[in-house]
Structure 1
Amino acid sequence: MMMARPESLQLIQEARATFVDGHFVAALILAMAFIEHAIVEDLQSRGKVQGSPTFAQALNLANEQRLFPPDWLKRAKRLSYRRNPFAHLKEDGHAHGLGQRVLDTKIHPRSIMESDAKDAIELMYSFLTATVRGFQMTE
């Protein structure tokens, strides 16, 4: 179970705020960062991993250990593919790039990004609910 580190809590707050403000790429990236934190920290707390594995490695380990519902992990993987062209430069026409997705679906890029961000935010809150445990703030 996650103790809700300050960095993770800030990611949640900023993912929500950027989504509300219509900054869908930022919301996607921030929500995915939280999801990665949640998965890796859960793996660490169970002694299944040390250090910081890649997101792909963390997803595979979480799937092998059956730590989260398989559909959540599949959604996280799909969303990571949609995040990656923004976080890691891809070649023109890359299958997961926004431009190619617009061409393939004939949907406006803003609508695509809003849908991706909404899915990521929903999944972020699912992981939050599954991993956070109560803690007491002291003055």
Structure 2
Amino acid sequence: MDKLEACVEALRRADLRTISQRADRMLAMSSYIEGGSFYGVDEPLVLMEDARVSYINGCFVAALISAMSSIEHMLLYEINFQGITYFEPKKSDSISNTLELLRLKTIGDEDLLEELGRLNSIRNAYVHPKGELHPFRRVNRAQAAGVAPSVISKQDAESAINAMYKVFDLTMKLGDLSEFK
């Protein structure tokens, strides 16, 4: 057996071991997605797809980071589309500044904004070094919950993807697709 055949065989065995877990995650994803055609700016859409595929394949941290990046793009594009580009002296160029602005400007989505703030703090703990006892570090949250850190990563990804599709639904622009025929 050459190297390529050995790799294909190893992938086949790995696929068989994880297929039902991936199928379960694929079904879980379907509860967030509503049918329909849509179009938009490339980056948020490709990040949404990366989040979905990463989650299905068990790459939970990648799913969380992709989902939060997609959310940041969608929110920044939306506030710029609305003509809101500056918040006091700070430019709305990050999710933190954007969430602060939206808390002042919107009514009715306070729970979602709170969840996005929580998820941003979780994302930051994954991508920026934090002190050993930082409350948003995965290992500290796992210890407090009495579960394995991998359980926390999966929960983080699920929450971020759920929020991503909520933001997408709120910012989605439907259009006449007849021009693409």
Does the alignment pair 1:92 with 2:127? Answer: no
> CA 1:4–1:127 in 2, change beyond 3 Å: closer, same or farther?
same
- The one-letter code sitting in structure 1 at the alignment partner of 2:45 is L
Question: Which of 58, 63, 75 is matched with 1:39 structurally?
Answer: 75
Q: Which has the higher contact order (CA 8 A, sep 6+)?
A: 1
> CA 1:101–1:109 in 2, change beyond 3 Å: closer, same or farther?
same
The equivalent of 1:58 in structure 2 is 98
In the alignment, is the contact (CA less than 8 A) between 1:32 and 1:124 conserved in 2?
yes
Correspondence 1:101-116 to 2 at 5 A: 101-116=141-156
Note the residue ranges of structure 2 that are not aligned, 5 or more in a row.
1-38
TM-score for both structures, normalised by structure 2: 0.70
The equivalent of 2:61 in structure 1 is 25
Aligned residues: 137
Q: What is the CA distance between 1:12 and its match in structure 2?
A: 0.7
Note the residue ranges of structure 1 that are not aligned, 5 or more in a row.
none
> CA 1:34–1:67 in 2, change beyond 3 Å: closer, same or farther?
farther
Question: Which of 113, 116, 126 is matched with 2:166 structurally?
Answer: 126
**Deviations 1:8-50 (Å, cap 9, x if unpaired)?**
1100111000000011101111101111111111111111115
Q: 4+ residue runs of structure 1 moved beyond 6 angstroms? A: none
Question: What is the alpha-carbon distance in structure 2 between the residues aligned to residue 124 and residue 68 of structure 1?
Answer: 17
Who wins on radius of gyration, i.e. which is larger?
2
Output the aligned Cα RMSD: 1.9
Q: What is the CA distance between 1:134 and its match in structure 2?
A: 2.5
In the alignment, is the contact (CA less than 8 A) between 1:93 and 1:99 conserved in 2?
no
> CA 1:20–1:67 in 2, change beyond 3 Å: closer, same or farther?
farther
Deviates more, 1:129-138 or 1:52-61: 129-138
The equivalent of 2:122 in structure 1 is 82
**Deviations 1:37-78 (Å, cap 9, x if unpaired)?**
111111111111156522111001111110761111100000
